[in-house]
Amino acid sequence: MMDDIPPDHPEYWSSRYLSVNTPWDFDGVPGDLKEFLKRKDTGSNPQARGKVLIPGCGLGHEIRAFAQAGYDVTAIDFAPGAVERSRRLNGTALASRIILGDFFTHDFAPASFDYVYERAFLCSLLPDRREVYRARMANLLKYQGSLFGYFYYQKPVLSEGPPYGFAWGTADELFARYFLLVKDTPVADSVPMFAGRERWQEWRRTSFQG
């Protein structure tokens, strides 16, 4: 039975995307990201906007928004159902930017991204994967690059997830030394399952190696 498949398997997520059982999906571009893209607008030089990665992209509503804002965008998801729907949603011009693969093992070069956009990916992972997530982000981001997006704060209960939130204070412990928190605001337009417990955060990559 599909319900017996654990959430660290692609089939768990693929079945939900193909059956449109996706309560975490915003179905558009969230307001904080729209503001971020306006704030980071570099005018007539889109090359200055840099390379952005969207891990666990799901349907990838934001892919087109990044591309239209002039970013060199790459998205990745290990669920075939998600990638299939995302490629249809984003069209042929962006389909090649959407990779079917495992974010943790795909052959990305170190320090190859200026930005990594987080939304509903970290909270889909079992809490014991968070240090691996941090290490991968630290490896892929350039010095002073930014891990930014939406972070879910709710003490995790393994029997009730995903999503698995952060207990208050544990995100600071996780990202300390590798990242510096430079922006942290409540989210006003969360989907119901995240409402009141989601933060827009921007973490800047430090020079720490370890």
Instruction: Establish if 140 belongs to a structural domain.
Output: yes
pLDDT, one tens digit per residue, over 88-109 is 999 999 999 999 999 999 999 9
Instruction: Establish if 6 belongs to a structural domain.
Output: yes
| % pLDDT > 90, the chain | 77
DSSP letters spanning 12-69 = HHHHHHHTT--TT--SS--HHHHHHHHHT--TT-GGGG-EEEEET-TT-HHHHHHHHT
Q: What is the pLDDT of residue 27?
A: 85
Q: What is the mean pLDDT of the chain?
A: 92
Phi, psi of 181 (to 5 degrees): -75, 120
Q: What is the pLDDT of residue 161?
A: 76
For residue 12, which of 26, 24, 1, 28 has the smallest C-alpha distance? 1
Q: What is the pLDDT of residue 46?
A: 54
Overall domain count for the chain: 1
Find the domain containing 42 and state its range.
Answer: 2-205
Instruction: Establish if 210 belongs to a structural domain.
Output: no
Please, which residues bridge with residue 77 across strands?
Answer: 100
Find the CATH number of the domain harbouring 51: 3.40.50.150
pLDDT at 48 over 80: no
Mean pLDDT of 179-203: 97
Instruction: Establish if 181 belongs to a structural domain.
Output: yes
Q: Which residues of 86-118 are buried (b: 16+ CB within 10 A; e: fewer)?
A: bbeebeeebeebbbbeebeebebeeeebbbbbb
Instruction: Establish if 13 belongs to a structural domain.
Output: yes
Q: What is the pLDDT of residue 4?
A: 72
Residue appearing with tokens 């959407």: 98
